[in-house]
Structure 1
Amino acid sequence: MKLASKPLVLAAIFCGIATTATAKEYRGWNTHPPDYPVSVALDRFSELVAERTDNRITLTNYHSAQLGEGEFATEQLQFGALDYGIFSTAPMVNTVKELGVASLPYVFKSPEHQFRVMEGEVGADIATAMNEANMVPLSWFASGSRSFYANEPLNTVEDIAGLKFRVQNSDINVAMVEALGANATPLPFGEVFTALQSGVVDGAENNWPSYESTRHFEVAKYYILDEHTIVPEGIIFAKTTWDTFSAEDQETIRTAAQEAAIYQRELWAAREAESRKIVEEAGSIIVAVDDKTPFSDAMQPVYEQFASDPVIADLLKRIQATD
């Protein structure tokens, strides 16, 4: 048997090395436009990973829901068709019941309280449950508190009753709106402006930057600061993708994700202030809520329905005990 010449052997070896070292591209989903704080921070995350792996791992972000709307993208992540992305946990509640506790109205005292919970022992237990659904959370971004807005005046909890509100496709969100006497209409995020404009819905609920960046304030200028939910949102990988990385690469990616989260929170604070100024100058009517008791009291049926499970009840108790 004739042996290959030494140059050919070396060429084969170097070819193998080159193949091994070739960068692999991973696709990341994001619903927000490129200049949004979430998007800017997600791009920073990709840059950090590329730098620290010598471009061996390429994380390509597709902003503005280019890879599909939220519910579809969430399903794709669960099935491993997407590698990672920035996801709100609200649409995942129907898949990971433990996430339901984080979507309960008024469960978090503030965004800072939410971070302490999600980055602590409670968050670790929730992450374990997410792993079983093929999801690995790496860091948590600021997503602001969500409040109601509509195309007619909202001054009290009574004004919400009877209106049609767009909500994320989550049983808890539907129950929350119905507990206030309103009609819940789950719709993809990208369809909300047209739905408001055409009267399919009377209002929606979201944070300052989303209310402003989507131009929803142009068709729904009444905004009441009830701040009912502070829903976790962060960088989440498909576990099937995550498990392909070495332990060293996992640590590199996780660290980059956490650094990106700190950066995003700084951007978010500035964007919230800017967004509020924009909508106020455009004529939006902002109503502060000094006493949220009427809102929280109306949520008792929601707690009875979604916090009766022993697992959820225990998580809720631990969240309430977290300073």
Structure 2
Amino acid sequence: MNKKVMTGSVASLLLAGIVLAGCSSTSTTGGTQTTGAAKTDDKKPTLTMRLADTHPPDYPTVLGDKKFAELVSQKSNGRIKIDVFPSSQLGEEKAVVEQVQLGAIEFTRVSTGVVADFSKAMGVFSLPYIFDNEEHEWKFLNSADGNKLLDSLSASRFIGLAYYDSGARNFYSRKPLTSINDLKGQKIRVIQNKINIDLISALNASATPMAYGDVFSSLQTGVIDAAENNWPSYDTSNHYTVAKNLILDGHQRVPEVLMMSKVAFDKLPDEDKKIMKAAAQESVQYQRDEWKKFEKKSEEKIRAAGVTITEVKDVKPWQDAVKPTIEKYRAEYKDELAAIDKARK
């Protein structure tokens, strides 16, 4: 091909490109993308942050994390990207919370039971039987008092963005577990906070604070006899395969909290701060819906696996047994307990 023919071909290709661009419904002016239909800007993010979660990728809290990240991307027109790291990829819960407090990790979804060691007010959720049921719990969490508790995290250098669902917690063991009396003398893993230790002592058992990721091997080897958690965690951790006795006592309803490092939050412009808070609140209903579906699926799986399950028809003996724990902390959590009682009415 001679040079004249080649030049003509290149010119034709350039002209075709110009015509095609003129036919597109997308144009960019001053860095802002406009389209014939509203959609998220697909430009590269200018800010990337990390969100840590201890649970596996399909777990309801992680799905909530991902929904939050998706909403932040949408609301920022693609400027802000949040990478979600499930399965304790960035560390176990307590270590991650410390990193978030320092600003080394921007976000985490964590149990309020773990946060209690960093923010005293959050410890109220670890007290047993303070909620009558799910409705009572969420009536409080969605109230002004619930939001006030989230806001209190700022004193510990966190920004409380939203509560996520985590259902009710029950005990499970390698040993028979058909009544409250069967807990006596058992070594039980608990979330690492002092209220949980006192709760186990009130049940005449021995509390063993331990990171969540260490529980399976400890149950398997007999380092501990038992643990406690909700249906989905009992399922996804495979604890049900080594601790095949479950009693549905529902001793706690400990919500999750999605929170951000105050160090990172304070660096954001006001517009982005609003985006973070709005996206988190909008993700809550999605997470709660996913929780219900997953919880049902986990229960069906565990029952089908032949786990020995005991229903607790009368919870009063349990409430009576743990009453000393509540009384020990009543003065410390006077305002929070009053607010929870108000939600009951």
Q: Does 1:296 align with 2:296?
A: no
User: 1:314 and 1:35 mapped to 2: Cα distance?
Assistant: 37
Do 2:174 and 2:242's aligned partners in 1 also have CA atoms closer than 8 Å? yes
Do 1:108 and 1:114's aligned partners in 2 also have CA atoms closer than 8 Å? yes
Alpha-carbon distance, 1:218 to partner: 0.4
* 2:211 aligned partner: 188
Three-state SS of the structure 2 residue aligned to 1:132 is helix
Change (3 A) 1:92 1:22: closer
Q: Does 1:322 align with 2:343?
A: yes
Identity %: 37
User: 1:306 and 1:151 mapped to 2: Cα distance?
Assistant: 31
Residues 143-167 of structure 1: CA deviation (Å, up to 9, x unaligned): 0100000011111111111101111
Alpha-carbon distance, 1:313 to partner: 1.1
AA aligned opposite 2:129: Y
Three-state SS of the structure 1 residue aligned to 2:156 is coil
Three-state SS of the structure 2 residue aligned to 1:25 is strand
User: 2:156 and 2:133 mapped to 1: Cα distance?
Assistant: 28
Alpha-carbon distance, 1:314 to partner: 2.0
Do 1:111 and 1:142's aligned partners in 2 also have CA atoms closer than 8 Å? no
Three-state SS of the structure 1 residue aligned to 2:105 is coil
Q: Does 1:40 align with 2:63?
A: yes
Do 1:145 and 1:229's aligned partners in 2 also have CA atoms closer than 8 Å? yes
Of 298-307 and 137-146, deviating more is 298-307
AA aligned opposite 1:267: E
* 1:8 aligned partner: none
Alpha-carbon distance, 1:246 to partner: 2.3
| Count of paired positions | 303
AA aligned opposite 1:242: F
Alignment of 1:275-286 (within 5 A): 275-286=298-309
Residues 52-76 of structure 1: CA deviation (Å, up to 9, x unaligned): 2122111111110001001111111
User: 1:121 and 1:51 mapped to 2: Cα distance?
Assistant: 28
AA aligned opposite 1:316: L
Three-state SS of the structure 2 residue aligned to 1:322 is helix
* 1:3 aligned partner: none
* 2:181 aligned partner: 158
* 1:258 aligned partner: 281
Residues 11-33 of structure 1: CA deviation (Å, up to 9, x unaligned): xxx99xxxxx9611111110011
Do 2:97 and 2:108's aligned partners in 1 also have CA atoms closer than 8 Å? no
Structure 1 segments, 4+ long, off by >3 Å, are none
* 1:119 aligned partner: 142
Three-state SS of the structure 2 residue aligned to 1:299 is helix
Alpha-carbon distance, 1:34 to partner: 0.5
User: 2:138 and 2:102 mapped to 1: Cα distance?
Assistant: 27
AA aligned opposite 2:150: A
User: 1:86 and 1:93 mapped to 2: Cα distance?
Assistant: 14
AA aligned opposite 2:92: E
Of 245-254 and 235-244, deviating more is 245-254
User: 1:165 and 1:198 mapped to 2: Cα distance?
Assistant: 14
Do 1:101 and 1:307's aligned partners in 2 also have CA atoms closer than 8 Å? no
* 1:11 aligned partner: none
AA aligned opposite 1:313: K
Do 1:307 and 1:313's aligned partners in 2 also have CA atoms closer than 8 Å? yes
AA aligned opposite 2:297: E
Q: Does 1:98 align with 2:121?
A: yes
AA aligned opposite 2:303: E
Of 251-260 and 174-183, deviating more is 251-260
Q: Does 1:145 align with 2:168?
A: yes
Match of 2:152 among 95, 107, 129: 129
Q: Does 1:107 align with 2:153?
A: no
Query: Normalising by the residue count of structure 1, what TM-score does the alignment of the two structures yield?
Result: 0.90
Alpha-carbon distance, 1:125 to partner: 2.5
Residues 212-246 of structure 1: CA deviation (Å, up to 9, x unaligned): 11110000011000001111202111111112222
* 1:235 aligned partner: 258
Q: Does 1:171 align with 2:199?
A: no
Alpha-carbon distance, 1:100 to partner: 1.6
Do 1:100 and 1:306's aligned partners in 2 also have CA atoms closer than 8 Å? no
* 2:104 aligned partner: 81
Three-state SS of the structure 2 residue aligned to 1:308 is coil
User: 2:198 and 2:184 mapped to 1: Cα distance?
Assistant: 13
Larger radius of gyration: 2
Do 1:115 and 1:140's aligned partners in 2 also have CA atoms closer than 8 Å? no
